[in-house]
A = this chain, B = another copy of it.
Amino acid sequence: MAEVTYAPTEDLDLIRSTTRQFLEEKADLGVVRRVMMTDDGHDRGLWSGFSEMGWTGLLVPEDYGGAGLGYLELSVVLDEMGRLVTPGPFFASAVVATTAMIELGSSDQQERWLPAMASGEKVATLGVFEKARDWGLEHLRTSAVEEAGVWKLSGTKRYVLDGHVADLLFVVAKVGDGLGVFVVEADSPGLTVSQVPVLDPTRRQAVVELDNVVAAARLQGGSSGLARVLRLGSVALACEQVGGAQRVLESTVAYARTRHQFGRPIGSFQAVKHRCAEMLMKVEHAKSVAYHAARVTDDLDELDIASPLAASVSSEAYLWAAGESIQIHGGIGFTWEHEAHLYLKRAKSASLLLGDPRFHRSLLAEALSL
């Protein structure tokens, strides 16, 4: 494993400060609540703001109109977005789908689709899961058959992040015994996309039904390439989770400092004080694994360890912190008006989206050959 450094560079600090400033101005929790209650949970104004900031193209090579940056820089943006439970298809499109195209797309395919994705003009998403606990993709049924040089897809993809606002769907389908990833345009005949209500209303999902849909292209690489895309997605999600966890810690500590009971700030009671300290420790641990993973994405072997490590540790830390935050806030933390539930919903949902902690630990066991 190559030498890794964790101390933030000036560049990263700059990305963080500009990201935080933009989000606090344009996407504070008031905005989040508004977008959260809209039909499709996608605010085009905000989205074009992301594009102007260069985030939609952050990972995209400069040749295709992107910033040509990597997961290290991305991790900082996601950290800040997690902090404010930023709504919309950023994770689905600018992270997962973009990563898929970069990892699996031919140069022609990248040239054809990446520019529009980088500019934010087209929203893309990856349609991969079908069964509720089949994160290992062992029971996929959606299949692709080649007829006269064109691939036709049939099946049903569930849990497709922001599929209802996607212009491009990258659909995983069985090809014989293997898997393939296919590009499907949202307006293709035979394609039915229906949004489904979700626990975390800041990150929507759709069910995608394909009835003999003609794919615009097949990306390269099968299961292993796809696995790498999912590993990278998990790293990105972990970075987002630690941002949320850090915010939960800060708001909880702030409340514990000021809220009085029995004539004392509740933070002076060890029941609260020690839980805040444990929260700090868990959040620090989560940051460490997430930041580490974001720094080793080019090291295939290390990524196989770092990704599930980050995913399992960050998921548990965030969910625990979000839950304890409500407990420490008491009744007020249980109200719709308070911000606490936004983080609880994000934390629980994120802990399941790409695999629950047990699944990630099973990947880790494999990587460590335990």
Binding site for B on A (CB under 8 A): 269-271, 274
Contact = CB atoms under 8 A, between A and B. Distances in A.
Contacts of A274: 270-271
A135 to B, nearest CB: 23
A271 B276 CA distance: 13
A208 to B, nearest CB: 34
6 contacts: A269-B270, A270-B270, A270-B271, A270-B274, A271-B271, A271-B274
A245 B100 CA distance: 56
A45 B274 CA distance: 50
Give 4 nearest A-B pairs by CB, closest first.
A270-B270, A270-B271, A269-B270, A271-B274
Nearest to A269: B270
Nearest to A271: B270
Contacts of A271: 270-271, 274
A46 to B, nearest CB: 44
A269 B269 CA distance: 8
A239 to B, nearest CB: 33
A287 to B, nearest CB: 26
Contacts of A269: 270
Contacts of A270: 269-271, 274
A289 B270 CA distance: 32
A271 B269 CA distance: 9
Nearest to A272: B270
A259 to B, nearest CB: 16
Nearest to A274: B271
A274 B275 CA distance: 12
A274 B271 CA distance: 8
A61 to B, nearest CB: 50
A51 to B, nearest CB: 50
A327 to B, nearest CB: 13
A271 B272 CA distance: 10
A95 to B, nearest CB: 39
A271 B274 CA distance: 8
A183 to B, nearest CB: 44
A263 to B, nearest CB: 16
A271 B270 CA distance: 6
A45 to B, nearest CB: 48
A324 to B, nearest CB: 14
A311 B274 CA distance: 32
A270 B270 CA distance: 5
